[in-house]
Amino acid sequence: MTHKKRKATELHCAAKLYARECSEGKLSRREFLTRATALGVAAPAAYGLLGLSAPAARADTPRMGGTLRIQMDIRAQRDPRTWDWAEPANVCRGWLEYLVQYNRDGTIIPVLLEDWEANDDATEYTLMVRQGVTWNNGDAFTAEHVAHNFERWCDTSVEGNSMASRMGAIMEDDALRDDAIELVDEHTLRLHLSRPDITLISGLADYPAAVVHPDFNGDPIGDPIGTGPYRPVSYDTGISAVVERNPDHTWWNEGNGAWLDRVEFIDLGTDPAAWVASAEGAEIDMLYETTGDFLGIFTAIGMEQSEAVTAATLVMRFNQDSEPYDNRAVRRALQTAINNAEVLELGYSDLGIVAENHHVCPIHPEYAELPPIEMDRDAALEMLAAEGHAETEFELISSDETFHADTCDNIAAQMRDAGINVRRTVLPGATFWNDWLTYPFSATSWAMRPLGVQTLDLAYRSGVAWNESAFSNEEFDALLDQANGIPDADERREVMARLQEIMQDEGVAIIPYWRSIFRHARPNVHNAEQHPTLEVHYQTYWMS
Amino acid sequence: MEAIGWTEILGRMAMQLLPVWLALAVVFAISITWKRRLGLYGKLFDSRVGMVGFALVMFWVFAALFADMIVTHDPLSQISGMRNATPGSPLRDPSGRYEYFLLGGDALARDVFSRMVMGAREVLRIAPFAAMISFMIGISLGLPAGYLGGRLDTGLTFVANLVLAFPVILLFFLLVAPEIQETAIPRVMAGILFIVPVLFFTVLLNARFFTQPARRNLYVGAVMVVGLWAYSGLAFNLDPLGVWGMSPNLLNVFVAVVFVNAPTVFRIVRGITLDIKTRDYVAAAQTRGEGTWYIMMWEILPNARGPLIVDFCLRIGYTTILLGTLGFFGLGVASESPDWGSTINQGRRLLTVYPHAAIAPALALMSLVLGLNLLADGLREESLKD
Amino acid sequence: MLLFLARRIGVMIVTALCLTFIVFYLTNLPAKLETLAKTQAGSRISDAEVASWLDRNGYNQPMLARYGEWLGVVPGWTRVDGDGDVTGRCYRAHGITDPGAAPARCGLLQGYWGESTRFRASVPDVIPPRLGATGLLMMWALIVMVPMALIVGVLAGMREGSRTDRTLSTFAIASTATPEYVSGVVFIALLASSTAGLSPLLSSWGWIDAPVLFQGNARSALEQITFWNFTLPVMTIALYGMGYVARITRASMAEVMTQQYIRTARLKGVSFANIVLRHALRNALIAPFTVIMLQIPWLLTGVVIVEVLFSYPGFGWTLFEAAVNNDIELLLAASVVAVIVVLLTQLISDIGYVWLNPRISVT
């Protein structure tokens, strides 16, 4: 395979294409930045493509010192690649750094990499490892360490290793493919992919992709070897976690962060009312995530709100292997009974944008606009009656998390308004996941992924591990393959339009909204705005 | 449309509750007129505390009975634009519905007033029956344990103490978990617990009418038919006619509540029995040659009724609070259920900004428990006057 | 007396055994183990991964054998990894991997309480600090509750039927009718909110510097207990527990006041205050004493609501967390602690009853 070596200033052709789309209004600025930087275009250059200059750094000079107290769940720690929540990653982010980082503005910037390049068909990536980085045990950081991490990420024998699902293109037989990584020199390595994959770099920014030392024993707290400027002081699951600036280590990025002396994460339970009480008592400075009616309350007590628009959503999917949802007309009827705008208003406090029962968000680059869907309760009941299900009781299952339960309660209420019998079942969060793939009709929360095809690949392709709707459609699979191979977003959008239509026509799921996520912090906390994937980059936060 | 003020809200609520007022008036008029002929129940109307308690309890009983006539909206339907609406807010588009949310809307835009009234039905559907079954079990086991003593007593007391040594909340977490519903445990426990009332009545009537086989056969037969019919439906969901039945969820909660309460009742009954069995009238019955079960059921039990009735009232109140606790921990009850515990738990989060959603069910729960306590106090005082 | 104690301890051990077995059975149902595997290894892992996780961690043996392992009467499980290292219950307990280095059995009898899966720590490291935290909460709750309850009960009971009696009794009943999840929340709204209740008023009058009067959250009490962060949880518990003790005291006091010796004292012309303090009180306090002792086990687990509401990590909170996360060994240890506390308080209440009331003897 030939690889065209490009200079850092030379821009990826696809990136230029995106820039054109962006200026034509086909691509929002955020998506353009995500995609262009994922292809190796530096953030300032990406802004340059749009004829803009990168946003200037904050005028205020950060102040050294201070202790930041953040309310956040403290879940049990484990091996980073098996993290299934962002919270454990957030605590460790001060010493376990990433190759690249996804920013609030949608850009992907290099961290432990100096730069990366992809070839034109995205089948070969060259990673330039940052020089001058040392581990806090004194070892120098090299390309070999990066290769070691790729090997760890591809190891499927470890239960719950979610990185493996992102590394498909360099894997073979449940492990790293032998010839997938080529060590060019001490600070350069090249990845040879078995198929085009433009999502590889975004995957490296995900929270389980923390880079660990070769001697790492699986416990990031007990064995905190990392490259970052902080180190753990204590970690009590369910109670609190404390990190402090590491005085025995020189950080490669010294002077551009690590302002805070100490960060305390405090777990006050899942009840936001307890957080309010604590914030009122001036015992916390920042809330990890604030929701619904509490936004107003936290603002009223003098905290500042920040928002991130995301493609995260709640999917009320039908499992097509179970009665009566194997009947397309039943699924379509239930979709028709629901007014998605009302679900957003009553189930998620109107904090997001209305979705259209398919899993591609308007903020995805390849999103195709379809005619609006229509709610018609009488028609819904008629359709059910025609299938002999007018009297059937439908059971809608959800976990007990507030917005899951609220959203489903609203959907149930709307179904009842249409004259459909419905029963709600709420399961505790821990129990819910036992059968999440096989519930006949239930709600699953899906996190945001930068590209529309990513979630379709993960959840709706026939037979994939997370296909909870048991959706199996040959045309859909074929089109999805086709979409994965189309670099041009315009061309791809045509395919996507058809994919989205199929999802709607087949009544795969009720997908009512795309939710925005929020964070509150005291006015003296800076640089700490909400991140679309809920990351806490405390090494860049500072307090005045 | 304008929002209405508190005077009008209260007026409209009183109007909606009209069936309750009428029923209360009828009950009180009848009871006070004939109170001398009504035994302990009639004496209740000599005590002011007892009357207040009785009125509070009956208020909620009638509210639960006539709930369908009282509610202004469907307690589950969510109406756009009414999230956290303040009391007296008008609907944006009534179109045939009641024009106002009398006590405001909750966080999911449901009518708080209607949910409170419907909640009474949820609470009164479980608490009194769970207390009743606990009592029958406690009595059926406590009487022989106290009267016969010996190994039986030692064994039963040990089991009762074992259950009582369990932290209540742990027991609920273990028994009400959804995973348990998939196993046979709740069904088996229900099978054992629910057969006791049937046996209780069978033995009760058999002991009394032992000497008149014809009447005995009729009564016992009737109890067996009705009892086993209900039993098959409630415990195993096998009722052929589909009259009796409980969702697995409800059954689970019910069984757990009975399981927690029965040992306490057992201890009370056993204690009273130990006391009463030394009385002269028991000795007299023994010399008359009455059967063991007759003495227990028809000599000891009626004389123990005073403290038991009092404890029964208290226990219904305690069970109501316990069900609320389950709601607080998100255990057992269905998500949209308007029962007071869950409603309080959902509403309390926003108490500082929208107090109405939590205050209304909280006041309802407190007034019912207060009523039960006052009723128990009144009954105790009046029964002591004998 | 010694025989009595020995029998009580015997009963305690048998009770603890039965109870732990029930807990063990209910937490080791297949569905519960699946939940455990998913909370431990990742919520979206496949069934095959669940099976392999359970196998690797020794959960796939018969339930009775595993209960035996926990007790320490059955040898702990072992398995040899691909690279020759040995893992197993006893290997993990001692943190070693060399074959043959660990003892065969490790359980309760060997003094090994196991590991908490929720807190990733050994059980003896988790329970004592939590128990200590609850102990403090209970102590303060009792300090507030007992005198209040006794005063209310004695005042109400010394003149039965008087207006004081009616008022105080109604108050006592109302307090038992207010569950903690209502009173706690009302306290927070009234006293610990900067937008509702008293605090904004006091703040605008300049009486308090902070935006709130009391802290509505007791997490900071873990490090240092102050009047401001501990009052609300203590009051919430004390209020609910008080009514019951007060009513028992009232009934007991009322009964004592009708006794012959009190009448005699009154006829002798002893002042009413003297009668109450010198003659009635001691006898009237026997019943409340036993009730107060029996309140202690209730406090231990009944505080769960208050601890969760005020995010105060005590024993009740630990129980809650362990139950929600199906933390088997922590739950077992917690039940053992609960049994010991329940039966110990019963014992103390029995002995105290004898001590206060010389007419009864334990044998």
Looking at the DSSP bridge assignments, the partners of residue A128 are A115, A188
Q: What is the pLDDT of residue A6?
A: 34
Reply yes or no on whether the pLDDT at A5 is more than 80: no
pLDDT tens, position by position, C53-89:
898 888 888 889 999 989 988 888 888 876 777 888 8
pLDDT tens, position by position, A310-326:
899 999 999 999 888 99
B53/C273: higher pLDDT: B53
Q: What is the pLDDT of residue A10?
A: 44
Separation CA B175–CA B181 (nearest Å)? 9
Reply yes or no on whether the pLDDT at C190 is more than 70: yes
Answer whether C216 sits within 8 Å of A276, measured CB to CB.
yes
Answer whether C301 sits within 8 Å of B377, measured CB to CB.
no
Q: What is the pLDDT of residue A355?
A: 94
Q: Coil, strand or helix: which one is A230?
A: strand
Q: Which amino acid is present at C72? A: G
Q: What is the pLDDT of residue A200?
A: 84
- Chain A: give the shortest CA distance to residue C320, in Å: 11
- Chain A: give the shortest CA distance to residue B12, in Å: 26
Of C15, C32, C300, the CB nearest to B179: C32
- Chain B: give the shortest CA distance to residue C174, in Å: 6
Q: Which of residues 231-290 of C touch A (CB under 8 A)?
A: none
pLDDT confidence tier of residue B364, bands split at 50, 70 and 90 = very high
Reply yes or no on whether the pLDDT at A410 is more than 70: yes
DSSP collapsed to 3 states, A242-277? EEEECCCCCCCCCCCCCCCCEEEEECCCCCHHHHHH
DSSP 8-state secondary structure symbol assigned to residue B46: G
Average pLDDT, integer, range B360-382:
88
Q: What is the pLDDT of residue C192?
A: 80
Of C31, C120, C195, the CB nearest to A77: C120
Separation CA B26–CA C100 (nearest Å)? 83
pLDDT confidence tier of residue B134, bands split at 50, 70 and 90 = very high
List the single residue in C with minimal CA-CA distance to A222.
C120
- Chain B: give the shortest CA distance to residue A273, in Å: 5
List the single residue in C with minimal CA-CA distance to B373.
C173
Reply yes or no on whether the pLDDT at A3 is more than 60: no
Strands A525-526 and A542-543: antiparallel
C197/B80: higher pLDDT: B80
Main-chain dihedrals φ then ψ at residue A2, nearest 5 degrees: -85, 145
List the single residue in B with minimal CA-CA distance to C20.
B166
Looking at the DSSP bridge assignments, the partners of residue B111 are B105
Q: What is the pLDDT of residue A38?
A: 59
Number of CB pairs, chain B paired with chain C, less than 8 A apart: 115
Main-chain dihedrals φ then ψ at residue C87, nearest 5 degrees: -120, 165
Model ipTM? Answer: 0.83
pLDDT confidence tier of residue A25, bands split at 50, 70 and 90 = low
CA distances from A524 to A268, A542, C305 (A): 22, 8, 34
C217 to chain B, any CB pair closer than 8 A? The answer is no
Answer whether C195 sits within 8 Å of A266, measured CB to CB.
no
Separation CA C88–CA C78 (nearest Å)? 4
Q: Which one of C311, C315, C317, C324 would you mutate to disrupt binding with A, by most A Cβ within 10 Å of its Cβ?
A: C311
Q: If you average pLDDT over every residue of chain A, what do you get? A: 86
Of C37, C42, C326, the CB nearest to A82: C42
- Chain B: give the shortest CA distance to residue C280, in Å: 22
Contact residues, chain C, for A404 at CB < 8 Å: none
- Chain A: give the shortest CA distance to residue C6, in Å: 40
List the single residue in B with minimal CA-CA distance to C344.
B165
List the single residue in C with minimal CA-CA distance to B377.
C173
Q: Which one of C46, C193, C217, C320 would you mutate to disrupt binding with A, by most A Cβ within 10 Å of its Cβ?
A: C217
Q: In sequence order, what DSSP letters do the residues of A113-140 get, joined into one string?
A: EEEEEE-TTSSEEEEEEPTT-B-TTSPB
List the single residue in A with minimal CA-CA distance to B76.
A413
- Chain B: give the shortest CA distance to residue A33, in Å: 38
Residue given tokens 């509401």 in the structure block: C309
Least confident of A311-315, B17-21, B207-211, C94-98: C94-98
Domains in chain A with CATH codes: 13-57+98-209 (3.90.76.10), 230-303+522-543 (3.40.190.10), 309-516 (3.10.105.10)
Q: If you average pLDDT over every residue of chain B, what do you get? A: 87
- Neighbouring chains of A at 3+ CB pairs under 8 Å are B, C
| Residue closest to C325 by CA, chosen among C37, C36, C116 | C36
As a whole-number percent, the residues of chain C with pLDDT over 70 amount to 97
List the single residue in B with minimal CA-CA distance to C33.
B179
pLDDT tens, position by position, B83-103:
888 888 898 888 788 888 999
- Chain B: give the shortest CA distance to residue C69, in Å: 22
Long-range contacts of B176-180 (CB under 8 A, 24+ apart): B176/B252, B176/B253, B176/B256, B176/B326, B176/B331, B176/B332, B177/A428, B177/A431, B177/B331, B177/C32, B178/A427, B178/A428, B178/A431, B179/A431, B179/A434, B179/C29, B179/C31, B179/C32, B179/C35, B180/B252, B180/C26, B180/C29
List the single residue in B with minimal CA-CA distance to C343.
B165
List the single residue in B with minimal CA-CA distance to C161.
B381
Reply yes or no on whether the pLDDT at C116 is more than 60: yes
Q: Do the beta carbons of residue A262 and residue A91 sit within 8 Å?
A: no
pLDDT confidence tier of residue A1, bands split at 50, 70 and 90 = very low
**Residues of A contacting chain B (CB within 8 angstroms):** 271-273, 276, 292-294, 296-297, 300, 342, 345-347, 349, 398, 400, 405-406, 408-410, 412-414, 416-417, 423-428, 431, 434
Reply yes or no on whether the pLDDT at B9 is more than 80: yes
Burial A86-96 (b: 16+ CB within 10 A, else e): bbbbbbbbbbb
Reply yes or no on whether the pLDDT at A357 is more than 80: yes
- Neighbouring chains of C at 3+ CB pairs under 8 Å are A, B
As a whole-number percent, the residues of chain A with pLDDT over 90 amount to 47
Answer whether B335 sits within 8 Å of A342, measured CB to CB.
no
Kindly state the tokens that stand for B90.
């008008």
Average pLDDT, integer, range C335-357:
80
A33/B47: higher pLDDT: B47
Q: If you average pLDDT over every residue of chain C, what do you get? A: 84
C351/A260: higher pLDDT: A260
- Neighbouring chains of B at 3+ CB pairs under 8 Å are A, C
Answer whether A278 sits within 8 Å of C34, measured CB to CB.
no
Contact residues, chain A, for B353 at CB < 8 Å: 293, 296-297, 300
**Residues of B contacting chain C (CB within 8 angstroms):** 158, 161-162, 164-170, 173-175, 177, 179-180, 182-183, 185, 317, 321, 324-325, 328-329, 341, 344-345, 348, 351-353, 355, 358, 362, 365-366, 369-370, 373-374, 377
Contact residues, chain C, for A84 at CB < 8 Å: 42-44
List the single residue in C with minimal CA-CA distance to A208.
C42
Maximum CA pair distance of chain C? 92
Q: What is the pLDDT of residue C77?
A: 84
Answer whether C219 sits within 8 Å of A236, measured CB to CB.
no
Kindly state the tokens that stand for A180.
């997938």
User: How far is C-alpha C291 from the geometric centre of its chain's CA atoms?
Assistant: 16
Main-chain dihedrals φ then ψ at residue C268, nearest 5 degrees: -70, -10
**Residues of A contacting chain C (CB within 8 angstroms):** 76-78, 82, 84, 159-160, 162, 236-239, 266, 268-269, 271, 273-274, 276-278, 280-283, 297, 300-301, 428, 430-431, 433-434, 436, 465-466
Average pLDDT, integer, range A362-379:
88
C184 to chain A, any CB pair closer than 8 A? The answer is no
Q: What is the pLDDT of residue A37?
A: 65
Answer whether B351 sits within 8 Å of C324, measured CB to CB.
no
Average pLDDT, integer, range C171-187:
87
Least confident of A35-44, B186-195, B199-208, C22-31: A35-44
DSSP H or E run through A365: none
Q: What is the pLDDT of residue A51?
A: 65
Q: Do the beta carbons of residue A533 and residue A86 sit within 8 Å?
A: yes
Reply yes or no on whether the pLDDT at B372 is more than 80: yes
A132/B247: higher pLDDT: A132
Answer whether B344 sits within 8 Å of C23, measured CB to CB.
no
